[in-house]
Structure 1
Amino acid sequence: MPLSHIPTMVSFLESPHPEQHSLFDDFQGLIVGTLLVALSVTFLQNSGLFTGQIAGLALVASKAVGVPFALLFFAFNLPFYVIAYLRMGAKFTIKTFMAVGLLSLWSYVLPSFFTISNLNSLVAAVLAGITAGSGLIALFRHGATLGGVGIVAVWLQDTKGIKAGWVQLGFDICVFALALSFFDLSAVAFSMIGAAITNIMIATNHRRDRYIAR
């Protein structure tokens, strides 16, 4: 047989029909991804920091009005489901709805099982950035987001080639500006470090030319 007819690893990688995730793959991806982000929220809340995106907006609003984060996070995401359905389809919307619900649940339940009494702000920012970035990448790779600007970011990356991480970072700047009214400057600075780590991880690791899963 000619060598040209022997399948190579490159030919498999370049296949136009890559293997799709099973329902179990997606289920465990949503569980792991949302748990990692919930852990990130725990690091932030126990160190007086916050994050970006809708989760960050919910954390800032929670501190401002005294309403639980889980409730605000779920409510803030509701309008974005219309955008998700129209632009990304029903499957993506359902997965995103499930992910938002799971994160709200984990964020409500986790504080009942453990608390962190002493956590350096810089360490908290780094750990929160890494866990949030890992969790969001897991969700993106299984065709879901945590709603809000993440929906717009994934849509822009898939259709316009604009990296999701940079879109989210732009929104984060607005959240941080708002947070200056409720947090001191050092808290905002450390929070920006965590958000930057998250978005750099997404921008460098979630690329359409490297990994596609819907």
Structure 2
Amino acid sequence: MAEPRAETGHTWLDDLQGISLGVFLAGIGVHLLTTVGLITGQTAGVAVIASYLTGYSFGLMFFLINLPFYALAWRRLGVEFTLKSLASVTALSVMTEVIPEGMVFSYLDPALGAVTFGALTGIALLALFRHNGSLGGLGVVALLIQDTTGFRAGWVQLIFDGVVFSVAFLLFPAWVVLYSLLGAVVLNLIIAINHRRDRYIAT
């Protein structure tokens, strides 16, 4: 049996299942989002916008946009966090190519798609954070700010989302941005309310 690490109480098997669950839920969330033609915030939002504008897949754009953030993660948050984040981003990039092959919707209401995306992806990020991983990009910056200043990661992400959606209003119809904003608010509220290191002690 895998022995738990002293600093977290998680074994490597715990981490594997937690990170795998997070990536899987995030993959479904992104598929729902793109099915209804919406966008999101954070680094994934930049990747979605770049995907729509360039015609390249979300998976490719998401992987490439995250590359510069690994240097910051390596220096400030450690090797383990960086490698787990790299593995998670790579796996999600693959999942977003695979899931649409097996999950097709004849109709999905945009509001329901946005809320479901926000809920699934918020839970996915909690799973990743609690196993010392992330989906890279802004998540790295948000966790660094939270750990050094105490300012909640969810609020950091919500502020960045405000910038992303302000730009999106210049590129997309207003209804697309408003529905997308609904999903982003659900996601970030889940992170802001539930992700507190002082409330989570792995056993």
TM norm structure 2: 0.94
Q: Partner amino acid for 1:208?
A: R
The answer to whether structure 1 residue 66 and structure 2 residue 55 are counterparts is yes
Residue 211, structure 1, aligned to residue 200, structure 2: yes
Question: 3-state DSSP class of the match of 2:37?
Answer: coil
Counterparts in 2 of 1:19 and 1:74: CA distance versus 1, 3 Å:
closer
Q: Does 1:45 align with 2:66?
A: no
- Tell me the SS of whatever aligns to 1:181: helix
2:162 matched to which residue of 1?
173
Which of residues 53, 70, 76 in structure 1 aligns to 2:65?
76
The answer to whether the 8 Å contact 1:64/1:182 transfers is: no
Contact 2:128 2:134 in 1 (8 A): yes
Q: Are 2:86 and 2:136, in contact at CA under 8 Å, matched by a contact in 1?
A: yes
- Indicate the residue corresponding to 2:88 in structure 1: 99
Contact 1:70–1:107 under 8 Å retained in 2: yes
State how far apart, in whole Å, the 2-side matches of 1:138 and 1:78 are: 22
CA contact (8 A) 1:125 1:190 kept: yes
Residue ranges of structure 1 left out of the alignment (5+ in a row): 1-16
Is 1:148 aligned to residue 137 of structure 2? Answer: yes
Is 1:27 aligned to residue 12 of structure 2?
no
Query: What's the CA shift for 1:65?
Result: 1.1
Distance 2:116 2:201 in 1: 27
Whole-angstrom CA distance in 1 between matches of 2:62 and 2:85: 13
1:64 & 1:177 partners in 2: Cα distance? Answer: 16
Offset at 1:212? 4.8
State the partner residue of 2:188: 199
Q: In structure 2, what is the Cα distance between the partners aligned to 1:74 and 1:19?
A: 28
User: Structure 1 counterpart of 2:14, which letter?
Assistant: D
- SS of equivalent residue, structure 1 residue 125: helix
Q: Where does 1:1-12 land on structure 2 (aligned, <5 Å)? A: none
Aligned partner of residue 155 in structure 1, secondary structure = helix
Give the number of aligned pairs. Answer: 197
The aligned runs of 1:98-137 (5 Å cut-off) are: 98-137=87-126
Quick one: distance in 2 between partners of 1:111 and 1:121?
17
Output the amino acid matched with 2:135.
L
Gaps of 5+ in 2: 1-5
Which has the larger Rg?
Answer: 1
Runs of 4+ in 1 over 6 A off after TM superposition: none
Return the offset for 1:97: 0.4
Q: Is the CA contact (8 Å cut-off) linking 1:49 and 1:191 kept in structure 2?
A: yes
% of aligned pairs identical? 46
Q: Which residue of 1 aligns with 2:174?
A: 185
Q: Which moved more, 1:74-83 or 1:59-68?
A: 59-68
Cα deviation for residue 182 of structure 1 reads: 2.8
Q: TM-score if structure 1 supplies the norm length?
A: 0.89
The corresponding residue for 1:90 is: 79
Describe the shift of the 1:212–1:86 C-alpha distance in structure 2 as closer, same or farther (beyond 3 A).
farther
CA distance in 2, matches of 1:53, 1:116: 26
Report the CA distance between 1:209 and its aligned residue. Answer: 1.0
Counterparts of 1:155 and 1:105, CA distance in 2: 26
Distance 1:212 1:154 in 2: 17
Deviations 1:5-50 (A, max 9, x none): xxxxxxxxxxxx7752110011111110011111110111111111
